[in-house]
Amino acid sequence: MAHYCVGIDLGGTNLKAGLVDQDTRVLCKFSVPTGVEKGTQHVVSTIASAVERAVSEAGVRKDDVIGVGIGSPGPMSHRRGLVINPANLPCMKNVPLRDEITRRTGLRATLENDANAAAWGEYWAGAGKGVRDMVMFTLGTGVGGGVIAEGNLLRGHFENGGELGHIIVQPGGRRCSCNQRGCVEAYSSAANVAARMVEEIRSGKASTLRAMLDRGEEIRAEHVDGAARAGDRLAAQIWDDACRYLAIACVVMQHATNPERIVFAGGMINAGPPLLERIRKHFHEQTWNLLDDFPQIMFATLGDDAGMIGAAGCAFRAQETGDW
């Protein structure tokens, strides 16, 4: 008999919802505005309504729905089912979201960090399928992360495991938004690739992108990528640095949790195979030759659905382990 879980990927602007079966098939999915400006009760109601809508839209019996998984931005607590204080959800301070959703929908619910949920999604249904030890880096505005160790999401004592964007790869290096120096995020996130380009041009370095800056246009990571491919030396250097620091973070995780596969996700992977090839090249230049425990380095395959599918997967997993 088929069983289902609802996945919710809670974002600052929209939330994505869907119904997923135990074989990772998505029966329906949709996106609705989160409505943070309307306050806590509105957001909670929006999530509860999305759960009901996913069940009815998919046309399954509610009795066959095992539960709801919710991926939430951090800080949050899986153990306590609590959204603590996410920067992009200002109305969601200390909201016991897990129990609220259960109260309103009658379904068991589990709460997970959104980056962890996305990593679990790729592990369960995407690029990590079939492996037991996986690491994921998500290259967006920041660099997110998630670690699966022996088939379990690694949460850690303070529930902040897998904050891989804040691995230090350059001591004394660029200041990160987290206040550390030299985080991989400070070199390799889309926002920081763009920011470095702007800084270098402003400091007087030559680049074909100077004209954009002079016209007051916003330089984004894809412009740096494009300029690098077109032969811009400064852009090529910044892009290459981003890949090299990601490769160092891969070496670090190779030795820390020793995954079979490292998966890259997020908007920046639209740069395509050359990005992957460059990370792999640097990885093999930077890693040891003592053993041949080299992880496969791959792109994620679920795109924007990873968080929603992963949240549903977390609910299936909660059912298995009893750890909602």
Instruction: Estimate to the nearest angstrom the gap between the alpha carbon of 263 and the chain centroid.
Output: 11
Q: How far is the CB of 132 from its own copies (least distance, A)?
A: 7
Of 5, 68, 224, 251, the one binding its own copies (CB under 8 A) is 251
Q: What are phi and psi of 305, to 5 degrees?
A: -85, -10
Total site size for its own copies, rule CB under 8 A: 51
Q: Which of residues 128-187 bind its own copies (CB under 8 A)?
A: 131-133, 145, 147, 149-150, 152, 154-164, 166-171, 176, 178-181
Distances (CA, A) of 70 to 14, 15, 77, 324: 13, 10, 12, 11
Based on CB atoms, which residue is closest to its own copies, 56 or 258?
258
Q: How far is the CB of 311 from its own copies (least distance, A)?
A: 21
Q: How far is the CB of 159 from its own copies (least distance, A)?
A: 7
Q: How far is the CB of 27 from its own copies (least distance, A)?
A: 32
Token code pair at residue 236: 């090529």
Based on CB atoms, which residue is closest to its own copies, 27 or 84?
84
Q: Which of residues 270-309 bind its own copies (CB under 8 A)?
A: 286-291, 293, 295
With residues binned 3-state (H G I as helix, E B as strand, rest as coil), the percentages for the chain, rounded to 5, are 45, 20, 35
Q: How far is the CB of 94 from its own copies (least distance, A)?
A: 15
Of 260, 267, 298, 304, the one binding its own copies (CB under 8 A) is 260
CB 230 within 8 A of CB 207: no
Q: Which of residues 1-40 bind its own copies (CB under 8 A)?
A: none
Distance, in Å, from the CA atom of 279 to the CA atom of 200, rounded to the nearest integer, reads 23
Per DSSP, the three-state class of 1 is coil
Q: How far is the CB of 135 from its own copies (least distance, A)?
A: 9
Q: How far is the CB of 214 from its own copies (least distance, A)?
A: 33
Based on CB atoms, which residue is closest to its own copies, 7 or 295?
295
Based on CB atoms, which residue is closest to its own copies, 93 or 255?
255
Token code pair at residue 138: 């998500």
**DSSP result, 67-86:** EEEEEEPSSEETTTTEE---
CB 182 within 8 A of CB 173: yes
CB 246 within 8 A of CB 217: no
Distances (CA, A) of 179 to 146, 175, 182, 183, 192: 21, 6, 10, 9, 14
Of 256, 274, 277, 321, the one binding its own copies (CB under 8 A) is 256
Based on CB atoms, which residue is closest to its own copies, 38 or 93?
93
Which residue ranges make up the site for its own copies (CB under 8 A)?
75, 131-133, 145, 147, 149-150, 152, 154-164, 166-171, 176, 178-181, 244-245, 248, 251-253, 255-260, 286-291, 293, 295
